[in-house]
Every structure is written in C-alpha cells, then in structure tokens.
C-alpha cells in the first residue's frame, strides 16, 4: 500500500498570510495527487488534481506543485473562508489520504 505523510497537522495563520502544506508519498506516484478542503460538518471539496490543475471556481490563490513523492499546496493571501482542514489524496494505486492539516486562525 502507498502511505501518505502530510504535514503539519495543524497550522496557525492570519488573514493575508501565505501557507504551505506538504505531502510525501511512500513511493513514486507520478502526478496522481489531489487536494481537498473540508469544513466542519460539510463534505470535502476538490480543489485541484494532478496536482496543479485547479477545479472550476477554485480561487487562484490556491496552487499545487510536485511529482514523484513530494507535493505541496500553497494558499497565498489567506482569506477568512480558507480556515478549514485540507487533505491530500494519492490515486496512483487505489487511494490513500493524508492525515489532514487544520488551518486555524492565529
């Protein structure tokens, strides 16, 4: 099975900050990685896949990079609506999610 290590588990930031979340795969997954945002009590929302292709309607302050085993999600100029939990997911071989990163208000 492919394991995904996501860090940090919690991230404290202020509106306007730029934050980065990273995911590391236990083996190469080419570019088969997606990012999701989940707010409390809601279903996850797909932000981007492969891993830099933004879904329609997702603000351009979200960006994703990486290939192989190292990936990152960057949120530039954090907005109040961005405080949520973020997950990465590999879909190279079946599916595995990272442990999640809670972005909270500092």
Partner 1 sequence: EVFLVESGGGLVQPGESLRLSCTASGITSGDDAMSWVRLAPGRGLEWVGFIRNRASGGTTDYAASVKGRFTISRDDSRNMVYLQMNSLKSDDTAVYYCSRCRGSTCFYVSWGQGTLVTVSS
Q: Which residues bind partner 1 (CB under 8 A)?
A: 1, 34, 36, 38, 43-46, 49, 55, 87, 89, 91, 94-100
Find the shortest distance in angstroms from Cβ 60 to partner 1.
19
Find the shortest distance in angstroms from Cβ 24 to partner 1.
15
Q: Are 2 and 92 in contact (CB under 8 A)?
A: yes
Find the shortest distance in angstroms from Cβ 77 to partner 1.
26
Contacts of 75 (CB under 8 A, 6+ apart): 18, 19, 20, 61, 62, 82, 103
Closest to partner 1 by CB, 19 or 89: 89
Alpha-carbon Rg of the chain, whole angstroms?
13
Closest to partner 1 by CB, 17 or 102: 102
| Distance from C-alpha of 105 to C-alpha of 34, rounded to nearest angstrom | 24
Coil vs helix vs strand at 46? strand
Closest to partner 1 by CB, 83 or 97: 97
Closest to partner 1 by CB, 14 or 42: 42
């Amino acid at each position: 099975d492919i394991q995904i290590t996501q860090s940090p588990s919690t991230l404290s930031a202020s509106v306007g900050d730029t934050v980065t979340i990273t995911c590391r795969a236990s083996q190469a997954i080419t570019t088969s990685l997606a990012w999701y945002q989940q707010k409390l009590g809601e279903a996850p929302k797909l932000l981007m896949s492969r891993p830099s292709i933004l879904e329609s309607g997702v603000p351009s302050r979200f960006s994703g990079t990486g290939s192989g085993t190292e990936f990152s999600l960057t949120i530039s100029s954090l907005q109040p609506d961005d405080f949520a939990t973020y997950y990465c997911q590999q879909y190279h071989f079946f599916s595995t999610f990272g442990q999640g990163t809670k972005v909270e208000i500092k």
